[in-house]
Amino acid sequence: MEPMKQLRAVVRQYWGFDELRPLQAEAMQLALTRRDSLVVLPTGGGKSLCFQAPALCMPGLAVVVSPLISLMKDQVDALVDRGVAAAAVNSTSSPAERRRVADEIRAERLKLLYLSPERLTSEQMLTFLTGVKLSFFAIDEAHCISQWGHDFRPEYRELKLLKETFPDTPVHAYTATATATVREEIARELRLERPETLVGAFDRPNLVYRVLRRGDKMKQITEVIERHADESGVIYCLRRADVDELCEQLQAAGYTAAPYHAGMDERARHDSQEAFANDRVKIIVATVAFGMGIDKSDVRFVLHAAAPKSLESYQQESGRAGRDGLEAECCLFFSGADFMAWRRMQSELPPPALEAAMALLDGIEKFCLTVNCRHQAIVNYFGQTLPNENCGACDVCLGDVEYQADALVIAQKILSCVVRLQSGFGAAYVTNVLVGSREQRILEREHDQLSTHGILQEFDSKHIRGWVEQLVEQGFLAKSGEYNVLQITASGRELLRGNATPRLLKPSTKPRRESRAAKESWEGVDRELFESLRSLRRRKADERGLPPFVVFSDVTLRDMARRRPMTPEQMLAVHGVGQQKCAQYGAEFIAAIRSYCELHGVGDGRTIESFDDEPTVAPKRSSKGAKAAAFELFAQRRSIEDVCQKLSRAPSTVQSYLLEFMTEREIDDPTPWLDAGLFEQIRQAACQVETGQLTPLFEALRGAATYDQIRVALAALKNFSEK
Ligand code: ADP
Ligand code: ZN
């Protein structure tokens, strides 16, 4: 078979993907033709597949360099669960495990080996690998080699030994860091030979960006969390103390949150990270120390409780949301104080680095204050542009914010106030004068006598403060000196004469609109079925000791809840279901879908009768006859199994008859079909959960009862309470 065809078949078979993402095909082609390469794709762009799939199509072993044990573990677990022969050797592997891996390599069975850079470049490993047939080296997170990157790791420098020791083995580097300096340094340090460089599009259309001035922080944060009930999210804070404080506040408010920062010991950090990966904790509150080890693809929101130090960091940190391609929300809450804090924290840097750091800060400050599309602003920063005017996925384009009607008049009032104050005061003071504050320092200076005192008193001071910043950002005002004193600029003078058109935002009162990505990805998805498949996924993940997103991604689960596959063939058509996944989990998910469909009378147009696939000797009755017969048997208190057998019907069908029977006859004692002890347990849990919804109840019971058992119990309780 032609190599690229074979490759697509492999992607289909092991990953269940029909399409490749942008540049994946090109990157794989380079791997197959053994040409050195440098692949730059944004976070979530699908870099891993670029080396994992070719490794399966080429003779020999691919060696993958990864900087963190947790990253290796996630990737290897996910590969093995797809049926790919992959392994990692690191400080946590036992001697027996190492021997097993070495044997697999000698027998030429292993296709991918994950190593840390220091282990790979150890003399022992290099010697071992010279005796092994290699397909290529893949260097993940390659920017770690660069001193200009944000994650410099000296161990990565030793990777130059690869080309010296294995001159004929191709080396491929992968990173999400885009700047040209970093790229050049990677190619040089790895000694890549005539590398082909691929740079992907930096826009992440599935992310919705919202940037807001920080007000009541806790309220702003909980509003976002509430929009994502039961979904995973990351909250970044500036300092460790902020992390601890916010985390405690969230816990006190009843959210499951865990902290993560460099001041915690290794063990505690690991626990937080693992609890998050396994969905035991929904929210991680962290400093920037949290990040690279996170492969979790279903992070649905990333919040910044304070501004990050550069737009590049923002792109990286916010980029941890929605790696699975589904919609996710990124909110940044900033205040002028954040930029001052960053300036202070970095003031000790040596001069060239200091200058660079200050320029980066200016960049992010500008981004926060812009009144234009956020997507456009981010990709512009990376030297790219977007074709559309309206991205449909940021606060500006979604109309979360609206333009203030008489912006010119308002701007003139603000500017003339600055002039009257003789350019001697900062934004906060100017704002106070404009709203007509009678605070001590204003009265002392007799600024309450100015004609501009109280001239904007009909507005909120928070809004005015925002407008001042917007006028600075648009160049009508400038801040100068240590105290950020406001001054009017040349274009500001033009504005006073009415020769300019400023744009001022007003916070919208309109309800939030759903982003385009959200609308599309939920299109046709049966949300209730999705929820019940999600619980099943959680159980399977717990059984296997894997994070749920490794079992099936959210994309896959939504597609399943959209297509409702009822046969293995249909299951294989679901996005992200390869052969191994189908063999491993297919039967149980199909069973869950079937019983859901029968209960709800939905499906692919076939009648419930035809779902019964057990061959049956007894002639099939019509469902009406079967139901009547089932009712008779239930009246004799016969068990579900008995009825199934007697009527040759699937358990799920009989279960739905039973629920109908209980409702119709007002049965409040479920004990013929449910153990009395279990019934009592469900009753108690139901009193506590109170919502009347199945999933929370199921979860509260921690697997003690099945959904079917819960339904029977609820039917009985309902009849009891109605009597
Ligand atoms: P990166 O390393 O570039 O941040 P990953 O390799 O972790 O990205 O991939 C992000 C997510 O996208 C993963 O859940 C992966 O399974 C999924 N993915 C990768 N390639 C494809 C594809 N061609 N079609 C669908 N999903 C894909
Ligand atoms: Zn936009």
Confidence of residue 126 (pLDDT cuts 50, 70, 90): very high
Task: Give the distance (Å) from ligand 1 centre to CA of residue 299.
Answer: 14
Does the CB atom of residue 430 touch ligand 1 within 6 A?
no
**How confident is the model over 554-565, as a mean pLDDT?**
93
144 in Cβ contact with 176 (< 8 Å)? no
Confidence of residue 553 (pLDDT cuts 50, 70, 90): very high
Out of 170-174, 550-554, 703-707, least confident range = 703-707
556's tokens: 């896959």
What is the average pLDDT value for the chain, to the nearest integer? 88
Counting ligand 1 atoms within 8 A of each CB, the residue from 7, 48, 175, 557 with the most, and so the one to mutate, is 48
548 in Cβ contact with 279 (< 8 Å)? yes
- Summarised one tens digit per residue, pLDDT across range 627-669 is 788 888 898 888 888 888 887 777 777 888 898 888 888 888 8
**How confident is the model over 313-333, as a mean pLDDT?**
92
Please determine, for residue 198, whether its predicted confidence score (pLDDT) is greater than 50: yes
Does the CB atom of residue 66 touch ligand 1 within 6 A?
no
Name the region of 392 (left: φ>0; alpha: ψ -120 to 50; beta: rest): left
Does the CB atom of residue 175 touch ligand 1 within 6 A?
no
Q: Please give the residue that has the higher pLDDT: either 604 or 696.
A: 696
Counting ligand 1 atoms within 8 A of each CB, the residue from 21, 40, 202, 206 with the most, and so the one to mutate, is 21
**How confident is the model over 433-455, as a mean pLDDT?**
93
pLDDT of residue 565: 95
Does the CB atom of residue 678 touch ligand 1 within 6 A?
no
Does the CB atom of residue 46 touch ligand 1 within 6 A?
yes
- Summarised one tens digit per residue, pLDDT across range 237-277 is 999 999 999 999 999 888 999 999 989 998 999 999 989 98
Task: Give the distance (Å) from ligand 1 centre to CA of residue 621.
Answer: 49
Please determine, for residue 506, whether its predicted confidence score (pLDDT) is greater than 80: no
Does the CB atom of residue 336 touch ligand 1 within 6 A?
no
**How confident is the model over 194-216, as a mean pLDDT?**
90
**How confident is the model over 170-177, as a mean pLDDT?**
92
Does the CB atom of residue 17 touch ligand 1 within 6 A?
yes
Confidence of residue 516 (pLDDT cuts 50, 70, 90): confident
**How confident is the model over 409-431, as a mean pLDDT?**
93
**How confident is the model over 191-216, as a mean pLDDT?**
91
Does the CB atom of residue 49 touch ligand 1 within 6 A?
yes
pLDDT of residue 615: 33
Give percent of the chain above pLDDT 70: 94
Output 495-501 pairs: Cβ under 8 A, ≥24 positions apart: 495/408, 495/411, 495/412, 495/415, 496/412, 496/415, 496/416, 496/419, 498/408, 498/412, 500/408, 500/476, 501/407, 501/408
Pairing of strands 505-507, 401-403: antiparallel
Distance of CA 67 to the CA centre of its chain: 21
**How confident is the model over 187-213, as a mean pLDDT?**
92
Confidence of residue 150 (pLDDT cuts 50, 70, 90): low
pLDDT of residue 576: 93
Q: By alpha-carbon position, which residue is closest to atom 11 of ligand 1?
A: 324
Please determine, for residue 534, whether its predicted confidence score (pLDDT) is greater than 80: yes
- Summarised one tens digit per residue, pLDDT across range 49-86 is 999 999 999 999 999 999 988 889 889 999 999 999 99
323 in Cβ contact with 275 (< 8 Å)? no
Does the CB atom of residue 366 touch ligand 1 within 6 A?
no
pLDDT of residue 147: 73
Instruction: Tell me the residue type at 136.
Output: F
Task: Give the distance (Å) from ligand 2 centre to CA of residue 390.
Answer: 5
Confidence of residue 688 (pLDDT cuts 50, 70, 90): confident
- How far, in Å, CA of 125 to CA of 165, rounded? 11
Task: Give the distance (Å) from ligand 1 centre to CA of residue 48.
Answer: 7
Confidence of residue 293 (pLDDT cuts 50, 70, 90): low
Does the CB atom of residue 553 touch ligand 1 within 6 A?
yes
- How far, in Å, CA of 25 to CA of 243, rounded? 41
**How confident is the model over 716-723, as a mean pLDDT?**
79
**How confident is the model over 469-484, as a mean pLDDT?**
87
Please determine, for residue 286, whether its predicted confidence score (pLDDT) is greater than 80: yes
- Ligand 1 atom showing the smallest separation from residue 319 Cα: 4
- Summarised one tens digit per residue, pLDDT across range 336-351 is 889 999 999 888 888 8
Residue 213 φ/ψ, nearest 5 degrees: -65, 140
582 in Cβ contact with 568 (< 8 Å)? yes
- How far, in Å, CA of 90 to CA of 74, rounded? 13
Task: Give the distance (Å) from ligand 1 centre to CA of residue 551.
Answer: 14
Instruction: Go through 304-324 and write b for each residue having 16 or more CB atoms within 10 A of its CB, e for each that does not.
Output: bbbbbbbbbbbbbbbbbbbbb
Does the CB atom of residue 41 touch ligand 1 within 6 A?
yes
Task: Give the distance (Å) from ligand 2 centre to CA of residue 223.
Answer: 21
Please determine, for residue 618, whether its predicted confidence score (pLDDT) is greater than 50: no
pLDDT of residue 611: 35
516 in Cβ contact with 497 (< 8 Å)? no
pLDDT of residue 624: 57
Task: Enumerate residues 6+ apart whose C-beta is below 8 A from 445.
Answer: none
Q: By alpha-carbon position, which residue is closest to atom 24 of ligand 1?
A: 17
Does the CB atom of residue 44 touch ligand 1 within 6 A?
yes
pLDDT of residue 80: 96
Q: How far apart are the first and last CA of the chain?
A: 71
